[in-house]
A and B are shown apart, each in its own frame.
Chain A
Amino acid sequence: MKNLKQLLKPLALMLVAFMTIVSCSDKLEENDGQLSADDLDFTASEDMILPLIGAYSETYSRGWEDPLLIGVRGDDVNAGGVGDAQGGFTNADLYNYDNGYWMYNQVWENFYGDITDIVNSGETILKYKEFASGDYVNLADQYIAETKVLSGFQHLQMSRLWGDIFIITNSNVSTDIDNGVDTKEEVMLYVSELMDEAIPFLADMRPNERTDVPGGVTKYTALAIKALANLELENYQAVADITEEIISSNKFSLYPDFYELFKKPGKLSNESLFELQFSDYNTDTGSTNNHLYAPFGPSSWTPAVSTASGGWGFYEPSLKYIKFMIDRDDETRLVTSVCFTPRGIAEIMLDPSYSTLPSYISNVTPDGDVFNDYTRAMFASGKHYLPSNQLTPGRNDYGSSKNFNVIRYSEILLMYAEALTHGATGTIMTADQAVNIVRNRVGMDPISGVTTDDVMDEKFAELGMEWGIRYFDMIRLNKYDELSYEGRTFTAQDELLPYPQAQLDLLPLE
């Protein structure tokens, strides 16, 4: 009995210990430090803009390799640094595709990563819509429509590069992947229809007229992407109709100063239908949201603002483009599109027909930045160059705070003109008129009786170095002879990039 009493106290203690432990076990259900997507307050309708901004952020934050790989194959651009680093990039320019080269997979993942995130944002906004009332219901519809436009744009870019790709409609991608790839035609039709779905809900204004999301997509962005998809489909009447709808809105006009259009003053101009936005917020410190423009920059220069950083010299306007522009005496657009080095100028002059050059060809830009010789390239892209005197003091990164123009009104006019030359009918203006609006802005004399080739020349001059527009035009029209330049030979099998090896390893792709 005494023993039992002695035991009682420790036993009681043990019992307390045991009870305490058992009561702790509900802690096992906790997941501290995470915010589950389902835990968002979907009744807070004013927050439904957050996933939309997320979708824009994904779209804007492009990898540096995206515009390079998209653009390099055109006859307007060469890879900088031939025989130097990034042989795979050079080889892409020469149409020798190596699907193990890292850039292919990177670009593939960049776009598809964005697409899944954008689709996901749309789904999140839909959840907000379930709890929304009044104007917020319409706003949710508009935001969802905007995510569709962003998704459509990225599908379009992907399919231009690889042709047959997966269409992603759900953030849980497994079903879409199991369905296999769709043909390029199916993808373009999908993009076109996706824009039709979106258009009724979108704002009927220019992107720069928006106050909630300045520079965000509007009805006209969707129409432009729809036009681009139909252009790929060679559905020229549709192209004419869609571009006519944009033109007839009378909302868009060409920015008067072509050179500044690509600089800070041209940010979100009345010409812009779609633009990737970046900023250092005009402060010398703090975080920025910038694009890495260094690949476009010169590896040696003497900038007017001496501390401004140069770049890598990866993206070189071609001699063919420069000579073409000199031949046309297309001064404004040449000076805007190309930055020259002394070596480059000497190289042009090696050709007897160009032994004397117009005085505007100089290695000093209109803003006084001096481009020096460097081995990687002879020229740099002017449309991706921000003058050093426009940099925010304290920010020396090449092109800091510069926006990335994507779809401009001049492209709409020229698409309209091209569609008409292919026999489509348009009522708002003639092909001549459309082309001449574009020419007029840069002081080029009007032309008449334009043919498809004339429009192509105009697009070459106007849109050179931008988003591979030239390349995709040439392969659409099977103008392989144009792409067989400066020692290259282009054949039909070179049109598309091969699927990245890393994706072949992961997917049921052939």
Chain B
Amino acid sequence: MKLKLNFLFFFLLSISILAQDKTVTGIVTSAEDGLPLPNVNVIVKGTAKGTSTDFDGNYTITLSQGNILEFSYIGFKTKNVTITNNNVLNIALEVDAQSLEEVVVIGYGAQKKADVTGAITTIDSEDIQKTPNSNVMQSLQGKVAGVQVTSVGSPGDSPSIRIRGVNSYAAGGTPLFVVDGMFYDNIDFLDSSQIQSVSVLKDASSIAIFGRRGVNGVIIIETNGGKFEKKPEITYNGYTGIQHAQNVVKMANAEQFVTMAYESGSESDIQFVQNAIERFGRSRINPNVPNVNTDWYNEVLRDATITSHNIAINGGSESSSYGVNASYFSQDGILDMKNEYERFNIQSNLDFKVSDRLKIGVNSIFSNATKYNPENGAWFQAYFAVPILPVYDYANTGADPIPFSDATILGYRGSQNPFPQMTYNNNQLKIKKILASVYAEYDLVPDKLSFKTSYSHDYSTIAERNVRLPYFISQNSQRETSSIRRANLTYSTQYWDNTLTYKDNFGDHSFKLLAGSSYGDEQTNSFSATGNDVQGIDLESSWYLNFADPTSFASQVNEIGDRFYTLAYFGRLEYSLKDKYLLNATVRHEGDAKFPKKIWETTPAFGIGWVISKENFMQNSNVIDFLKLRASWGQLANGQLGGSAGTRTVSQLTTAIGDTQTNGIISSSNFTDLEREILEETNFGISARLFNSKLTLEADYFIRDTKKLVVPVDQAIVSNTLLVNAGEMRNQGLEIAANWSQPINDNWSFSVGGNIGTLDNKVTKINTDQGYYDTGSAEFRQRLMVGEPVNAFYGWEIDGVYQNEAQVAADPTAQYELTENNNQLVPGDFMYKDQNNDGKIDADDRVVLGSYLPDFTYGANMQVSYKNFDFSVAIAGQSGNEILNRKRGEVLFTNDTNIDADFAINRWHGEGTSNDYPSSEGRRKGWNQKMSSFFVENGSYFRVQNIQLAYTIPSKLVGGKNMPETKITFTADRPFTSFSYNGFSPEVANGVDRQTYPIPAVYTVGVNIKI
């Protein structure tokens, strides 16, 4: 009876509370250390009403119904508290050891982090949002051991990502991106502010389930969606800033250039200088120099803006959850022409519980971008353009419409001035991507057996419009007729995935079984047409093919396309015994139309783990909280290569027969008939948490072999390369990541972390008697040879510079040159190392000069928080890679052009002046232009990646209104880089630097508001 009364009492009480619209406030702390917990979800149980704690753990909630508050926070046990009369409710949440071992997203599912046996690294969304960039991947630079990110400077372009070295030579290094379950090769449509988490799957056993597209690693991205039973939240994120070119290469100025021209002894070059003096007058400072001193890089560069806005709303009720957002990004390029990128995205993630057993959902992104591509040739031209040429030449009266200068007027072979290209070319790309997926998930046996089917379609179009305006600068630099090229590229990728998942426990055994199929259809199509002599070309409104001369289309209309289907069946077992002994096993059976020789391929993978910290003998350790040893092995079949025809193909061409354009056909003499590359990897790892989880440590060692390595092989006698299964390659390395985070007191906390990844890449087998394959160009040779890194730079080693005649006379190789090749070497010429000591310098003296792959990449970060201030610094770098400075090497093709100041200053110009650089005269001689160690430079760099200061204004009640939480940030991205390479940037993805869009430093101010 008493019990009933009590019940009644409570019942009445709760009604009275409901009736009263009670307001409850309090602070939520961690039971372990008593520190306040921000962002704890506080909801009124059974309703959609809720809030979250602010930075100091405070919350305020008004209840109109219900009497139980639920406090939930990642890593802590959820706590339900019944409201009493007390208006203040302070809560201490207890750490949930189980959930602390956070969940990691893996292929077609999720796994407890403690159960993972492969190498997976997860990056915080906060770290990603610190980087002001159009591309999410840029923010990964220096963050993940073993992941090399090479930045790009051109707006809207994607950085190149290399995970664990070069896994495939021919397929490139782009990893597979899995965004909310959908597969992409390129995620330039994704806005950084929408990222919830990024996981990098590095080892083969983790990737195995993805099969053909995952060979270069898999990056799984989850975007911000809603949550069931979450109060609505509106956030605004935005920043704006400027970009400024860094480390601009200093070029020889007019005086240095003229000095070198005279030293070269080349009559024509001296004449050109005289011509410049005649045309532009003499410098008053040095009368031997023309009165022009153009710093071409300075002319073509500009400071540029960058802006981003994003607004997002998310939340959820009992049976539905939603996340919708709109974002805008715009960036101008630092090349002074129409060069910019602008993107507008709308995105929605919706999930519905249709019944207890059926859940459905839809994810969609529409990304609409406009990009104006730079004329990258301008960088190349700015390097070579002589400083004695001005940008404008008002004496060039024939020029129309703008009196640009032209080096051919001075006698040079090329017109050199980059401005005509930059001014009269316009390269617009309209990039539209529609990415949509739907899924349905049905629990056949609740909590045990479920079936999921999902269908996704990634449809992208790029509408290119390249406009070429007519101009006249000189006979050698003119465009007689205007032209417009339109190209429509469409990419359509569809996947239909079905999976059946069964999980169960029997005593100490717990397991999860997955069986699935994936059906893919990939189409690409490119249609282009070019028309000339466009009416009204001066107006952008008439930049349509309609206004071009219709007779000009002949032979200028092209269409190519292909469509390939894939089908795969896969299965996975996750098993754990007493949460101590772990086993994961995967198998994938995959069919791919690109490989007619062998359509089907089966690849297995497995991983084992031992959680030592769960053993009895470790239970009492004060230091070690968690320790796991991991080992995995797996195979991957690479399906990312282009379709191999398996047969000779036919193409059309035209030729003039009796002044009539006549068409014919030619059939290829060769064809590719490839088998898939097979990647085979063994990975050993340790995961540990020490000192009350203040220190986390992950270390992995991997050995990764690429079998049936596909290489484009130069064909004998003809100018043609063919993809061939040519050999084997090995990448191995060690990756270590450590992080220490510690709250000091109520006001202060700090964390510091670092990571390093080493890489040892070498070719282990070549399937020819020769033992090597040549790559690169004939003049700038690269080679694949056993025992050496892939695509190693290959040439002669410089042994110094001849200082005097006696030295030349005493050198047998120089004497051989004279008697056999009639080549008189002189002081200022290179001395090459006679590797085989046969008294002559020839092809047999070539050696490996270096590799474009770094020996190691590293990154570190430090974060200090004081009250509402957060300050963070990240650094990154790499070491041990070489860059081929092709800009210098191209003197081979045109040698009357300018050179960088480093060369001009350090050149040999008399005995003892240099033992590294040739003379100005020598620079022009074939002997000194050979592919040599002179052109191969150290590409190591160290960079301050990101500095950010943030101040948070906590949510407050001001004048009865709830002021939203606001965070203000000041960011300097890539403000400082140190390197010795003679170029704009040491970040050259393939190591060959001919022209590189410089990487700007970015300075921004940002605001983040949460309502």
Contact = CB atoms under 8 A, between A and B. Distances in A.
Determine if chain A interacts with chain B: yes
Contact of B551 (A14, A166, A286, A303): A286
A56 B657 contact: yes
A346 interface: no
Interface string A169-188: 00111000100000000000
Nearest to A509: B716
Given A36-B648, A105-B778, A267-B659, A301 B553 contact: no
Contact of A32 (B398, B563, B779): B563
A83 B266 contact: yes
B960 interface: no
Given A28-B593, A289-B654, A309 B475 contact: yes
A410 interface: no
A451 interface: no
Interface in B456-502: 472, 475-476, 478, 480-481, 496, 498, 500
Interface string B567-603: 1000000000000000000000001110010010000
A331 interface: no
B774 A505 contact: yes
B665 interface: yes
Contact of A83 (B267, B659, B772): B267
Interface residues of B, number: 101
A10 B442 contact: yes
A215 interface: yes
A453 interface: no
A84 B895 contact: yes
Interface string A67-92: 00000000000000101111110010
A28 B664 contact: no
Given A50-B663, A53-B664, A285-B552, A396 B480 contact: yes
B649 A36 contact: yes
B655 A61 contact: yes
Contacts of A96: 821-823
Given A84-B895, A287-B654, A309-B478, A56 B664 contact: yes
Contacts of A352: none
B451 A177 contact: no
Interface stretch (B22-30, B368-376, B666-674, B947-955): B666-674
Nearest to A9: B442
A372 to B, nearest CB: 10
Interface in A264-304: 267-268, 277-279, 281-287, 289, 299-301, 303
Interface residues of A, number: 111
B666 A58 contact: yes
A301 B475 contact: yes
Contacts of B305: none
Contacts of B668: 37
Contacts of A374: 411
A29 B563 CA distance: 11
A310 B411 CA distance: 12
A300 B474 CA distance: 10
B113 interface: no
Interface string B630-659: 000000000000010111111101111111
A357 interface: no
Contacts of B565: 24, 27-28, 30
A117 B669 contact: yes
B661 A279 contact: yes
A214 interface: yes
A33 B896 contact: no
Contact of A25 (B567, B772, B843): B567
B645 A177 contact: no
Contacts of B658: 213-215, 268, 277
Contacts of B774: 502, 505-506
Nearest to A24: B519
Contact of A116 (B561, B718, B778): B718
Interface in A16-67: 17-18, 21, 24-25, 27-40, 49-58, 60-61
B413 interface: yes
Given A87-B926, A113-B719, A286-B555, A34 B562 contact: yes
A312 interface: yes
A164 interface: no
Contacts of A30: 563-565, 593
B924 A87 contact: yes
A98 B820 CA distance: 11
Nearest to A212: B657
A285 B549 contact: yes
B980 interface: no
Interface in A281-338: 281-287, 289, 299-301, 303, 306-310, 312
Nearest to A173: B717
B650 A37 contact: yes
Contact of A33 (B551, B562, B591): B562
Contact of B656 (A100, A105, A116, A278): A278
Contact of A109 (B478, B549, B718, B823): B718
Q: Is the interface of B mostly helix, strand, loop or mixed?
A: mixed
A503 B481 contact: no
B115 to A, nearest CB: 27
Most chain A beta-carbon neighbours within 10 Å: one of B555, B591, B715, B896: B715
A395 interface: yes
B130 to A, nearest CB: 43
B444 interface: yes
A303 B475 contact: yes
Interface string A4-20: 00010011001001100
Contacts of A83: 265-268, 924
A477 interface: no
A172 B715 CA distance: 11
Contacts of B822: 94-96
A504 interface: yes
B656 A279 contact: yes
A507 interface: yes
A112 interface: yes
B364 interface: no
A394 B478 CA distance: 12
Given A117-B669, A507-B716, A395 B480 contact: yes
Interface string B658-699: 111111111111000000000000000000000000000000
B533 interface: yes
B981 to A, nearest CB: 25
B646 A31 contact: yes
B898 to A, nearest CB: 14
Interface string B866-910: 000000000000000000000000001111100000000000000
B717 A300 contact: no
A102 interface: yes
Interface in B906-938: 924-926, 929-930
Contacts of B521: 27
B647 A36 contact: yes
B517 A18 contact: yes
Contacts of B895: 84-85, 87
A389 interface: no
Nearest to A310: B475
17 contacts: A7-B444, A10-B444, A17-B453, A32-B563, A34-B649, A49-B664, A51-B666, A54-B665, A57-B655, A83-B266, A96-B822, A98-B926, A113-B720, A281-B660, A286-B551, A299-B411, A306-B398
Interface of B: 265-268, 271-272, 398, 408, 411, 413, 442, 444, 451, 453, 472, 475-476, 478, 480-481, 496, 498, 500, 517, 519, 521, 523, 532-533, 549, 551-556, 560-567, 591-593, 596, 599, 643, 645-651, 653-669, 714-720, 770, 772, 774, 777-779, 821-823, 843, 892-896, 924-926, 929-930
The 9 tightest CB contacts between A and B, nearest first, are A53-B664, A214-B658, A33-B562, A375-B268, A57-B655, A109-B719, A279-B656, A285-B552, A285-B532
Given A30-B565, A306-B475, 11 more contacts: A21-B496, A28-B565, A31-B643, A35-B650, A60-B656, A85-B895, A286-B551, A286-B552, A309-B475, A395-B480, A507-B717
